[in-house]
Each structure stands twice: as structure tokens, then as C-alpha cells.
């Protein structure tokens, strides 16, 4: 099991940042990789319970679901995350917010329970094909 | 463009052609035939792969030579995301959103 940790700093206060991290109208605008768009969401991370989101990518839609485990307004959200159809256990994601002066706040994102950092989220349905292509590309580049 | 790429590769014969060209480099159409498929069927597969931008073709005397366009494979690679890339890109987008909405 490995853990992924990313730290960022944003130019808004902790209460505002918490809203961007938990409310659907904000989440659908930033969740997902470059070029992706969110097509359906039940995504209120500010209260314990299930959530789901469908992200459209050039490879086709992929769905993510999970359950909000823990909420501390303005400070912390913790939820499980599962990509259906992927052969991977649920991982747990935690957003931690710390105020940094009057108009700044720091975000620490921790994802734990990842078996392999190379588990690729966008690969659903294409896992076999891409893995084979990458192997061959590795050979070709050697 | 990318959906075409994936649609074109979602066929065992075409994927095998691409794998072989990646492994062995440029090859003639005739050498890529596996003997079980008719010439028109093979040329259909080559056309699909060319139209999707995966293969390029050049003519050398009587032969048609095919090779894989590296750009096509790189475009696929961009959608193979690790968890880290997924979150880094998401948090970049969050940064842009916050900037846009809170600009004085």
C-alpha cells in the first residue's frame, strides 16, 4: 500500500476553500484531468453519505463513486473513492485545510490505500489494450 | 481525434498490426498479412488505421509501406493517468477556477 500526498496553496480563506472542495457547483468545474468534463454528479461532499460522478474524457466516460466518511467544516473532508470496473480496492482521500494568513489557505491532499500509483484511472475498458501498447512501445524505444 | 484512435484500435486485427509495426518498424502491406484474411479485408483495416491518423503510408516501387505515427501513440499516453496526475491536474484546474472567480 502506498500513500499519495500533494500540497497546494490557494489565495482564498479556509471557509471559501472548503466550499470549493465540497460543493457540487464548484466540484464539477475542477474535478478531473485537463480536457475532461463532468456529465453527471451527485456530489455533496459536505455531509456523510454516498457520492458519484461521471467524467467524460476522449476515451469515453468513466464513473467514480464513494462515500463521505468524515466532515469538519472549514478544515477537513474524508471520503472513499472507487472506480467501478477497476480491479483495485477503494482508496481513501482526505482534504485538509490550514489557514495561512488572512486571505490564503493551504490544502493537503492525502490518498491512502493505493496498491500501485500506476493504477490508471482513465484506463477502464482499455486497460489490456493500453498495457500491451505500452509494453510494445517500451520495447520499441529500447 | 482520440475517440477515432481508440475506436480504430478496438479491433484485434488492427491492434495486432499496430503492435507489430511498433515492434519491428516499417513494413510492407503484404508482409503484415497473416494469411487468414482476404486482401480487401486487410486493406480495409489499413484504411481505418490511416483515417484515424495511427498509420502513415508511403509507396516504394510496387510496395505500400506502413509505419506508426509517433504522435498518435503519444496522444494515447496523455490519457494514461496515474493517481498523482489525476489530482495534480484537478488541483491546477481548481487554482484556475479560484483565480477566475476571485479576481478583484
Minimal Cα–Cα distance from A33 to chain B, Å? Answer: 5
pLDDT of the residue at B83? 73
Answer whether B95 sits within 8 Å of A109, measured CB to CB.
no
User: What are phi and psi for residue B76, nearest 5 degrees?
Assistant: -65, -40
Using alpha carbons, list the distances in angstroms from residue B35 to A82, B9, B40, B44, B64: 44, 20, 12, 15, 17
Let me know: does A114 contact A100? Beta carbons within 8 Å. no
Cα nearest neighbour of A113 on chain B: B83
Residue-number span of the structural domain to which B73 is assigned? 2-101
DSSP secondary structure code for residue B61 in this structure: T
Q: Determine which helix (DSSP H) or strand (DSSP E) holds B86, and give its type and residue range.
A: helix B83-101
| pLDDT for position A34 | 74
Q: Percent of chain B having pLDDT more than 90?
A: 28
Instruction: Indicate the domain borders of chain A.
Output: 2-141
Q: What is the total count of domains within chain B? A: 1
pLDDT of the residue at A14: 94
pLDDT of residue B87: 86
- ipTM of the modeled complex: 0.74
The answer for residues whose C-beta is within 8 angstroms of residue A39's C-beta and 6 or more apart is: A54, A55, A56, A61
The domain made up of A2-141 has a fold known as Alpha-D-Glucose-1,6-Bisphosphate; Chain A, domain 4 (3.30.530)
DSSP letters, B11-75, are: SHHHHHHHHHHHHH-SEEHHHH--SSS-HHHHHHHHHHHHHTTSEEEEEETTEEEEEE-HHHHHH
Q: What is the tens place of the pLDDT at every residue in B28-51?
A: 988 887 778 888 889 999 999 999
Q: Which residues pair with A67 in a beta bridge?
A: A50
Confidence of residue B8 (pLDDT cuts 50, 70, 90): confident
**CATH label of the domain that carries residue B16:** 1.10.10.10
B62 touches chain A (CB under 8 A): no
Is B71 at the interface with chain A, CB within 8 A? no
Position with higher pLDDT, A113 vs A14: A14
Amino acid at each position: 500500500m502506498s500513500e499519495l500526498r500533494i500540497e497546494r496553496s490557494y489565495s482564498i480563506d479556509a471557509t471559501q476553500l472548503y466550499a470549493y472542495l465540497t460543493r457540487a457547483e464548484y466540484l464539477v468545474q475542477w474535478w478531473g484531468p485537463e480536457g475532461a468534463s463532468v456529465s453527471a454528479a451527485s456530489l455533496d461532499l459536505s455531509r456523510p453519505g454516498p457520492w458519484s460522478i461521471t467524467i467524460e474524457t476522449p476515451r469515453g466516460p468513466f464513473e467514480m463513486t464513494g462515500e463521505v466518511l468524515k466532515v469538519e467544516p472549514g478544515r477537513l473532508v474524508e471520503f472513499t473513492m472507487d472506480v467501478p470496473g477497476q480491479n483495485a480496492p477503494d482508496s481513501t482521500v482526505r482534504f485538509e485545510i490550514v489557514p495561512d494568513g488572512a486571505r490564503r489557505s493551504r490544502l493537503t491532499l492525502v490518498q491512502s490505500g493505493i496498491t500501485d500509483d500506476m493504477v490508471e484511472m482513465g484506463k477502464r475498458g482499455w486497460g489490456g489494450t493500453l498495457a500491451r501498447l505500452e509494453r510494445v512501445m517500451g520495447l520499441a524505444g529500447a | 481525434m482520440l475517440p477515432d484512435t481508440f475506436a480504430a484500435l478496438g479491433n484485434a486485427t488492427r491492434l495486432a498490426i499496430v503492435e507489430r509495426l511498433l515492434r519491428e518498424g516499417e513494413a510492407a502491406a503484404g508482409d503484415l498479412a497473416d494469411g487468414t484474411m482476404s486482401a480487401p479485408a486487410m486493406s480495409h483495416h489499413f484504411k481505418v488505421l490511416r483515417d484515424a491518423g495511427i498509420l502513415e503510408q508511403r509507396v516504394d516501387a510496387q510496395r505500400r509501406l506502413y509505419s506508426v505515427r509517433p504522435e498518435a501513440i503519444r496522444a494515447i499516453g496523455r490519457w494514461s493517468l496515474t493517481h498523482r496526475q489525476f489530482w495534480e491536474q484537478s488541483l491546477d484546474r481548481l487554482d484556475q477556477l479560484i483565480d477566475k472567480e476571485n479576481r478583484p
